[in-house]
A and B are shown apart, each in its own frame.
Chain A
């Protein structure tokens, strides 16, 4: 009961990690909007839960209060919410972002097409991209995790992805998820770049373990803004346990550390943010039940803080989990209004060695819950003869000729 009775103000007055020692704490407190906070400022954690669940509290009220909520507050309230509570509140909140298409609209769910390859072979990656497109995936981003952080290879992959996207005139974005410094180097070399990516964490020292700092992210954000491609140009990934695994958690629980990473993301108005929920392994999330709980918590906390939250619904082979667990989390996130999930060929990432959601899984979710792709992407799928009525996959007799051209690289 202690947590439920804790006044929200206490999280402002007593930071869980000292202001003086951690720049994420400074970011959280310095950017706190007391005016936005005022509608909930007199609540305890338990009262915040009741207010969030109240039928009168809708998207507008949740949106208005977002900058008044801190990661510690939303992490605290998530701990006293059941799975259905997390879904109920998340489903009220839509966070919409735009680049070439519009992501996060109600009644829609997008996918990141993740065509990884163990040796970064451009044609192998292109093959996975085409398969994913034929299964109506890829409207959030076509994003490759490179096996090597080599700038030359990153540039090669960016040029290949840009070629495919241009040839097929796809209203989506491309990204190669190398370290941010490598992406900036590729950008300086003139590589085509849509989104700038980085993995982030919720403490200064955990970010240092990722080889990043807030000034470095500021610089990357500035460089991306100078391309004048719009306001939503960053892509971040997070995941519970990253601070703990680098011994950078300051005794704070891994879920609160995760929510603090969203404060870092929020600073840069990103197009996409997703938790890679089961990737870290059983050392941090032991089994399917813990992964389910963490996925729903992360999505809820991110949405409440105003982020365009997606989720990599996933597990590793050393965790006590399997496809059935993923089906449950996937379905609940669909009901919760998750912005996007991953699309990996056959759910098997042959480079990162874990299982995520497949192209087929996205079809299942869209079909069961009547969720459509991003509107611009839906129109493109219609023009290509891949999808009809926004929901039904057509039976292709062959790859469209223009797809064959995309492979000539």
Chain B
């Protein structure tokens, strides 16, 4: 018995290490590869041979790369901002107001997000062309909005439902209509939920490839995933792995920064103290 309890922390540590290695190895490999050039790329050594930043330099010098980063930032922020605003309004009605067909509406919203992207691609293309938004950033923003809204609505609705009814009633007695109740009482309580869903929506839009490839044409409208895929080497047969990895590492950094910035918000528990605790 005693021997077993001594072994326990080691077993636990081993399991944790396994999970961390499995989760982080691809990223580590990207970092290592990004620092290799030429034939080093094909080495299977786990540790980097040298700390070389050539690939990073050449990626940043690449024409249009920074423009693509900017495009991604604009598209992802617009889509996320609009999605949060719309789903905040939607979740209020879906979570707090009881009306006929509410359940059906919720299921429909979920059903929309069940179709694979490829299935809606051609229809969406026609729609974007008809709206005259082909090869524009606003067109892409709208596509991403449609992509993330079902999920943000669902998550926010479930958070909205969890807010005690008495708070809404107290607000009503304090003279708040639905709008003020939503923005002055519910919104502050939903901050952690908004931060979490917002980040997930932003990541989804930031990394999206298929829509971005289909709905943009010129290189000045490309977003990052497409720009990375279009990186070309010295010849037609040369795939610049080093630069691709360097670019991937570079565009992952904003996401990491974003998560760290909102970490405190994501830690929930803001509702404690509202009712008996």
Please indicate whether A and B come from the same complex rather than being unrelated chains: no
Residues of B within 8 A of A (CB): none
